[in-house]
Structure 1
Amino acid sequence: MPKRKGAKGTKLTLKVAKKAIRMTPDGRRRLTLSNMGITIFPKCLLKLTNVDELDLSRNLIQNLPDNIGNFSSLRWLDLHSNKLESVPESIGNLVGLTHLNLSNNRLISAGLPSTLGSLISLKSLNLGMNQLDTLPPTMDALDSLQELGLFDNLFINLPEFLKVLRNLTKVNMKQNPLSYVQGDGEGMQKEKSKPEEDVYLFHESSLCRTCLKTCQEQRERLTRGGRGGDVFEEKRIRTYHGLMVPNSVATVNQDVWRIRKMEHKPIK
């Protein structure tokens, strides 16, 4: 077992880390160090060049090392429920990364580097439960991205680059102060939506035939006209090609994506 060092957190050695590596059913080497009271990212982990998956979630880590990009073998990285305020630029060197979870931290928009756009293999990115209101525009290069979690943040508008990500099938925007248009078509004004309003996007291919037909009929009605608020909804659908509202599919994933703060108390 890792040694404890009181207020300084858990002391993790390379020997202990090596013993914690397990093989996944699909043959990957996974290192799980979740909920261990770790306060400082163990730099010894960077020597484990054969690790494919790393779980450091539910700890007390405030900073990642500047050379985190040297962990080139990583394909899966979970850092949810820590105390991160920023991410180093070198994370862009993890070009083989397919899954990245940074939810439930203290990230602000200024703390996200433009190099996130270099993670061209990324399929799933979870940035929920932070303090973000914008994302680096370089993320329009994430052509492989399929799922994006932005729930419980400070977004007023949907990120513009979403419209160019053709493989994106799920976007979770729950609990953001998104704007909507209110008025009669003339002199419309943007107002902040109610905090409890849920907004999801999903790809047409995720729908059953009946649901797809229902959404298409609704879109046709909006095209012919309607209330001011409906006009904005139609504009949203057209702007983000292939994505529709609301997202019944994302609701199914909500229990997986949404990490509640009460579940992640560090071990005393």
Structure 2
Amino acid sequence: MVKGKKKSNEPSGRKITLKMAKNALKVTVDGKRRLDLSNMAIATFPKCILKLCDIEELDLSRNLLKKIPDTIDKFVNLRSLDLHSNHLEQVPAAIGRLHNLYSLNLCNNHLTTSGLPHELGLLRNLRVLNLGMNRIETLPPPVAALKELQELGLFNNLLTHLPKCVQNLPKLQRLNVKANPIPPDESPEVDRIQRVECLYLVREDCLCTDCLKRCKEEREKLDSRMSAASTLKKSIFAGLITPNSVAQDNQAIWR
């Protein structure tokens, strides 16, 4: 009887080599080194990218990651970390050592309150934190230490009240708590915070056929309205003549 191969406990997924990672390395318009490994079916954090730990932006979004290792703290220059749309259940405490982090996107994962480390409060330079579309019931109190935080996404979670730590963020400008089971009587507490609609930009190849068609139709409608408004302005002033023409016809008077 032929024995079958023993199944590995390692999650299946695409393996990233150092060569592939180097090819995915880009320089942003403002001169930042960005490693874009998004949407590549990665199931395990690629150890090889530790050799590129001097990067300033890391995008591992839309993959199959279930865990981020403690070695994430090797990326000491990191300003932007995008991990949205993975399968993360926990954020490592080591993330608190990324003191230069400016933006952290953890949207659309499997995070609960227990999966958020208190070390998040050590990210004193953090401006943008997106925790939307998870299973979070409240925030750890150390989040109140994020005194530079300007944007906080908590939409589509399990919040039954607005966490008190949110009210102690002096520079918070945008807060999204939509689609949470927060009772109506909680809303006055956030009136002092400006709540705005979010704008999401995606590439065309990330949209399904129906969504792309609808977006193009809306764009055509907008272009049509703008064109009509421009034509109306021209027609309103069509009967006017330029001051120079008047001056030429009445040069004697002007003299």
State if a TM-score over 0.5 links the two structures. Answer: yes
The equivalent of 1:123 in structure 2 is 127
What letter is aligned with 1:95? Answer: H
What is the aligned counterpart of 1:147 among 148, 151, 155? 151
What letter is aligned with 1:243? Answer: I
Deviation at 1:45, TM superposition (A): 1.3
Is 1:12 equivalent to 2:12 in the alignment? no
Deviation at 1:163, TM superposition (A): 1.7
Give 3-state SS (helix, strand or coil) of 1:140's partner: helix
Deviation at 1:80, TM superposition (A): 0.3
Could you tell me whether the CA contact under 8 Å between 1:43 and 1:65 is conserved in 2? no
The equivalent of 2:182 in structure 1 is 178
Larger strand proportion of the pair: 1
Structure 1 residue ranges, 4+ long, deviating more than 2 angstroms after superposition? 254-257
* Structure 2 gaps, min length 5: 1-10, 209-255
The equivalent of 2:193 in structure 1 is 243
What is the aligned counterpart of 1:106 among 110, 113, 116? 110
Deviation at 1:89, TM superposition (A): 0.5
What is the aligned counterpart of 1:80 among 84, 88, 95? 84
Equivalent residues in 2 for 1:192-231, closer than 5 Å: none
The equivalent of 2:163 in structure 1 is 159
The change in CA–CA distance for 1:233 and 1:109 in structure 2 (over 3 A counts) is closer
What is the aligned counterpart of 2:44 among 32, 40, 43? 40
Supply the distance in 1 between the matched residues of 2:58 and 2:129 (Cα, whole angstroms).
15
What letter is aligned with 2:55? Answer: V
Is 1:91 equivalent to 2:119 in the alignment? no
What letter is aligned with 1:172? Answer: N
Deviation at 1:233, TM superposition (A): 4.7
Give 3-state SS (helix, strand or coil) of 1:18's partner: helix
What letter is aligned with 2:130? Answer: N
Supply the distance in 1 between the matched residues of 2:32 and 2:199 (Cα, whole angstroms).
26
The equivalent of 2:200 in structure 1 is 255
Give 3-state SS (helix, strand or coil) of 1:31's partner: strand
Deviations 1:205-236 (A, max 9, x none): xxxxxxxxxxxxxxxxxxxxxxxxxxx654x1
Could you say what the CA RMSD is over the residues aligned between the two structures, in angstroms? Answer: 2.0
Q: Percent identity?
A: 49
Deviation at 1:33, TM superposition (A): 0.7
Supply the distance in 1 between the matched residues of 2:83 and 2:117 (Cα, whole angstroms).
16
Give 3-state SS (helix, strand or coil) of 1:67's partner: helix
TM-score (normalised: structure 2)? 0.72
Higher relative contact order (CA 8 A, sep 6+): 1
Deviation at 1:255, TM superposition (A): 3.5
